[in-house]
Amino acid sequence: MSSKLGILFVCLGNICRSPTAESVFASKVEAAGLSDQLRIDSCGTQNYHPGKPPDGRSTVVAAQRGYRLDQLRARVLRPDDFETFDYILAMDKSNLRDVLGICPSTFRDKIRLFLSFASDLGEEEVPDPYFGDGSGFDTVLDLIEAASDGLIQHLRDEGKCA
Protein backbone atom coordinates (compact mmCIF):
# COMPACT_ATOMS: atom_id res chain seq x y z
CA MET A 1 0.00 0.00 0.00
CA SER A 2 1.20 3.49 -0.82
CA SER A 3 2.11 5.97 1.90
CA LYS A 4 0.16 8.58 -0.02
CA LEU A 5 -3.51 9.14 0.73
CA GLY A 6 -5.50 7.50 -2.08
CA ILE A 7 -8.46 9.18 -3.77
CA LEU A 8 -10.51 7.16 -6.30
CA PHE A 9 -13.26 8.69 -8.43
CA VAL A 10 -15.97 6.33 -9.73
CA CYS A 11 -18.62 6.62 -12.44
CA LEU A 12 -20.28 4.11 -14.76
CA GLY A 13 -17.86 3.59 -17.65
CA ASN A 14 -14.86 5.73 -16.64
CA ILE A 15 -14.90 7.84 -19.81
CA CYS A 16 -16.73 11.05 -18.78
CA ARG A 17 -17.21 12.05 -15.16
CA SER A 18 -14.60 10.10 -13.19
CA PRO A 19 -11.65 10.81 -15.52
CA THR A 20 -12.70 14.46 -15.53
CA ALA A 21 -12.71 14.40 -11.73
CA GLU A 22 -9.32 12.70 -11.70
CA SER A 23 -7.77 15.34 -13.94
CA VAL A 24 -9.42 18.36 -12.31
CA PHE A 25 -8.62 17.18 -8.80
CA ALA A 26 -5.01 16.36 -9.75
CA SER A 27 -4.60 19.83 -11.24
CA LYS A 28 -6.02 21.52 -8.16
CA VAL A 29 -3.91 19.31 -5.88
CA GLU A 30 -0.80 20.31 -7.83
CA ALA A 31 -1.71 24.00 -7.59
CA ALA A 32 -2.18 23.57 -3.82
CA GLY A 33 1.26 21.94 -3.51
CA LEU A 34 -0.15 18.62 -2.30
CA SER A 35 0.83 16.27 -5.14
CA ASP A 36 3.45 14.51 -3.04
CA GLN A 37 0.78 13.59 -0.45
CA LEU A 38 -1.97 12.17 -2.66
CA ARG A 39 -2.47 9.33 -5.12
CA ILE A 40 -5.37 9.97 -7.51
CA ASP A 41 -7.12 7.58 -9.89
CA SER A 42 -10.50 6.89 -11.47
CA CYS A 43 -12.50 3.87 -12.57
CA GLY A 44 -15.93 2.69 -13.63
CA THR A 45 -18.37 0.28 -12.04
CA GLN A 46 -18.90 -1.34 -15.45
CA ASN A 47 -16.24 -2.65 -17.79
CA TYR A 48 -17.70 -0.99 -20.90
CA HIS A 49 -14.57 0.78 -22.18
CA PRO A 50 -11.45 -0.97 -20.85
CA GLY A 51 -8.28 0.77 -21.96
CA LYS A 52 -10.15 3.43 -23.93
CA PRO A 53 -9.46 7.16 -23.60
CA PRO A 54 -12.09 9.50 -22.16
CA ASP A 55 -15.02 10.59 -24.31
CA GLY A 56 -13.87 13.17 -26.86
CA ARG A 57 -16.46 15.68 -25.68
CA SER A 58 -15.12 15.46 -22.12
CA THR A 59 -11.59 15.87 -23.39
CA VAL A 60 -12.43 18.97 -25.45
CA VAL A 61 -14.44 20.72 -22.72
CA ALA A 62 -11.79 19.93 -20.11
CA ALA A 63 -9.03 21.24 -22.39
CA GLN A 64 -10.93 24.52 -22.77
CA ARG A 65 -10.42 24.99 -19.03
CA GLY A 66 -6.83 23.80 -19.02
CA TYR A 67 -7.28 20.17 -17.91
CA ARG A 68 -5.77 17.21 -19.77
CA LEU A 69 -7.66 13.95 -20.06
CA ASP A 70 -5.94 12.48 -23.11
CA GLN A 71 -3.40 10.49 -21.09
CA LEU A 72 -6.07 8.67 -19.04
CA ARG A 73 -7.49 5.22 -19.86
CA ALA A 74 -10.66 3.56 -18.62
CA ARG A 75 -10.56 0.75 -16.13
CA VAL A 76 -13.09 -1.05 -13.98
CA LEU A 77 -13.28 -0.98 -10.18
CA ARG A 78 -11.14 -3.78 -8.74
CA PRO A 79 -11.55 -5.64 -5.45
CA ASP A 80 -8.16 -4.36 -4.22
CA ASP A 81 -9.28 -0.73 -4.72
CA PHE A 82 -11.28 -0.98 -1.50
CA GLU A 83 -8.13 -1.68 0.47
CA THR A 84 -5.70 0.61 -1.35
CA PHE A 85 -7.79 3.80 -1.55
CA ASP A 86 -8.79 5.94 1.41
CA TYR A 87 -11.63 7.79 -0.35
CA ILE A 88 -13.82 6.14 -2.98
CA LEU A 89 -16.03 8.86 -4.42
CA ALA A 90 -19.03 8.01 -6.57
CA MET A 91 -20.44 10.48 -9.06
CA ASP A 92 -24.09 9.53 -8.51
CA LYS A 93 -26.37 7.44 -6.31
CA SER A 94 -26.60 4.59 -8.80
CA ASN A 95 -22.83 4.13 -8.84
CA LEU A 96 -22.74 4.63 -5.08
CA ARG A 97 -25.17 1.68 -4.70
CA ASP A 98 -23.10 -0.42 -7.10
CA VAL A 99 -19.88 0.29 -5.22
CA LEU A 100 -21.47 -0.35 -1.83
CA GLY A 101 -22.98 -3.56 -3.19
CA ILE A 102 -19.58 -5.11 -3.84
CA CYS A 103 -17.57 -3.44 -1.08
CA PRO A 104 -16.44 -5.54 1.88
CA SER A 105 -18.13 -4.24 5.05
CA THR A 106 -14.80 -3.25 6.60
CA PHE A 107 -14.23 -0.59 3.92
CA ARG A 108 -17.72 0.92 3.55
CA ASP A 109 -16.74 4.05 5.49
CA LYS A 110 -14.42 5.05 2.62
CA ILE A 111 -17.30 5.40 0.15
CA ARG A 112 -19.41 8.51 -0.41
CA LEU A 113 -20.81 10.79 -3.06
CA PHE A 114 -18.23 13.18 -4.48
CA LEU A 115 -20.60 16.15 -4.30
CA SER A 116 -20.85 15.72 -0.53
CA PHE A 117 -17.75 17.93 -0.59
CA ALA A 118 -19.72 20.73 -2.28
CA SER A 119 -22.91 20.69 -0.23
CA ASP A 120 -23.47 24.41 -0.82
CA LEU A 121 -24.30 23.65 -4.48
CA GLY A 122 -27.59 22.02 -3.56
CA GLU A 123 -26.77 19.04 -5.81
CA GLU A 124 -26.03 15.50 -4.70
CA GLU A 125 -25.01 13.93 -7.99
CA VAL A 126 -22.78 14.70 -10.94
CA PRO A 127 -25.13 13.96 -13.86
CA ASP A 128 -24.00 11.65 -16.64
CA PRO A 129 -23.51 13.84 -19.74
CA TYR A 130 -22.93 10.91 -22.12
CA PHE A 131 -26.37 10.84 -23.78
CA GLY A 132 -27.19 14.55 -23.51
CA ASP A 133 -26.22 17.59 -25.52
CA GLY A 134 -22.80 19.17 -25.18
CA SER A 135 -23.84 21.56 -22.40
CA GLY A 136 -23.83 18.68 -19.91
CA PHE A 137 -20.06 18.46 -20.06
CA ASP A 138 -19.70 22.07 -18.89
CA THR A 139 -22.12 21.40 -16.04
CA VAL A 140 -20.09 18.34 -15.04
CA LEU A 141 -16.91 20.44 -14.97
CA ASP A 142 -18.56 23.15 -12.85
CA LEU A 143 -19.68 20.59 -10.27
CA ILE A 144 -16.36 18.74 -10.26
CA GLU A 145 -14.33 21.92 -9.83
CA ALA A 146 -16.44 22.93 -6.81
CA ALA A 147 -16.30 19.47 -5.21
CA SER A 148 -12.54 19.27 -5.82
CA ASP A 149 -12.03 22.52 -3.93
CA GLY A 150 -14.25 21.21 -1.14
CA LEU A 151 -12.37 17.91 -0.97
CA ILE A 152 -9.01 19.67 -0.69
CA GLN A 153 -10.40 21.83 2.10
CA HIS A 154 -11.82 18.74 3.84
CA LEU A 155 -8.46 16.95 3.65
CA ARG A 156 -6.75 19.97 5.18
CA ASP A 157 -9.41 20.41 7.87
CA GLU A 158 -9.09 16.72 8.81
CA GLY A 159 -5.29 17.02 8.99
CA LYS A 160 -4.83 14.50 6.18
CA CYS A 161 -2.90 17.01 4.05
CA ALA A 162 -0.67 19.90 5.03
Q: Output phi, psi for 77, to 5 deg.
A: -60, 130
Half-sphere exposure of residue 100: CA atoms within 13 angstroms, side-chain side: 12
Bin 129: left if φ > 0, else alpha if -120 < ψ < 50, else beta.
Answer: alpha
Catalytic residue among 17, 41, 75, 103: 17
128 labelled catalytic: yes
Note whether 93 and 113 are within 8 A (CB). Answer: yes
Establish whether 11 is a catalytic residue.
yes
Taking alpha carbons only, the member of 120, 155, 150, 141 closest to residue 67 is 141
Does an H or E element contain 42, and which? Answer: strand 38-44
> Smallest Cα–Cα separation from 49: which of 77, 75, 17?
75
Say which of 55, 92, 98, 128 is annotated catalytic: 128
Task: Tell me which residues are annotated as active site.
Answer: 11, 17, 128
